[in-house]
Structures are given as C-alpha cells and as structure tokens.
Structure 1
C-alpha cells in the first residue's frame, strides 16, 4: 500500500486544493528503511475559508481516518486558505529533526 499516494488522492478529492504537497518523512525517524509512517501534508484550499485551524485539522483527520488507523504514525498538517498561503509567500514550515533518530 502506498500511503503517500492515498493521502494525496484523498486530500485532492475531498478539498479541491489549489496546492497540495505530501511528503513521506519516515526516513528521518527511527523506523525501518522503506517505512511509510511519518508524513507532512501541506494543503491550500478554498474549503478552509472561514474555518478554524482546529476544525481544518478535524476535517483532514476524518478524511484520512483509514490511513491513520492502519499504519500512519505521524501526520504533520499545514492547512491554509489562499490568502494565508500568499501571506506566507507559498512556504510551509520545515519539520523538526526527530529526537529519536538513530
């Protein structure tokens, strides 16, 4: 199963984003080589207009419930409206280094 592709497809289908980026960051964590356990998703969508940050996360967690219950251990979410994304100059924050990485 390719979690990265599934996550991307579900986000596109559910939120019709103007920008989506899904990155498998598992290689930076203490997991076996080739793991699909840690992801970062950046999503810019009109669906987030007028929606609180907490509610945005809840919407995405609901959309990805199957992935989160069947192997994805961590999901960093960066969810923006088009105006918020423009104010950030189209840049999502970098993920911190894993403290437990071997």
Structure 2
C-alpha cells in the first residue's frame, strides 16, 4: 500500500472525519534531507473530526502522531497538520 493511502485509511478508520485531505508535498522537498527519489516522504494533512471536539491543538496532534506511528517511524520524514473540530471549521 502506498504511504498516502495508508495515512488516509488509518485516519479515516480512527477519526471518522467529516473532511480529510492528505497532500503529498514530497516534490517540494526533492534533494532535501529525508527525501527519497520515489517520493511519499513529506505530507500535509487537513482533517475535521468530532473526535477533536474536547482536545486542544497539542492533544489533536499527539493523537494523529499515535495513529500514524508506523509511518512516522519509517517512510514519512515530515508531517504538517491542520486539525479541527466541526465547531472550529465554521
């Protein structure tokens, strides 16, 4: 399974998001540390989920890091996050 697909599948399963975007930004980092020629090393995730309702920004990020622990320990070099609860997105 491709890295982006794995990220999308895990976040969908664990967060049941109303909105989810997984953006591969690896091409913007070609030649940088951690970049691989085949890509899929640098990602940006935007998610809106009710799971985030009672969590602050740091708690939301830690939750996503936990869900994506395998990817962060291996193929993913960098991950940026924009995580919102439905009430934040309005």
The answer to whether the superposition gives a TM-score over 0.5 is: yes
Match 1:77 to one of 48, 66, 81: 81
Runs of 4+ in 1 over 6 A off after TM superposition: none
Aligned length in residues: 86
1:27·1:33 contact (CA, 8 Å) conserved in 2?
no
Q: Normalising to structure 2: TM-score of the pair?
A: 0.90
For 2:50 and 2:18, locate their aligned partners in 1 and report how far apart those are by CA, in whole Å. Answer: 8
Are the aligned partners of 2:7 and 2:68 in contact in 1 as well (CA < 8 Å)? yes
Larger gyration radius, structure 1 or structure 2: 1
Q: Distance in 2 between matches of 1:50 and 1:65?
A: 22
* Runs of at least 5 residues in structure 2 that lack an aligned partner in the other structure: none
TM-score by length of structure 1 reads 0.80
Unaligned runs of 5+ residues in structure 1 are 87-102
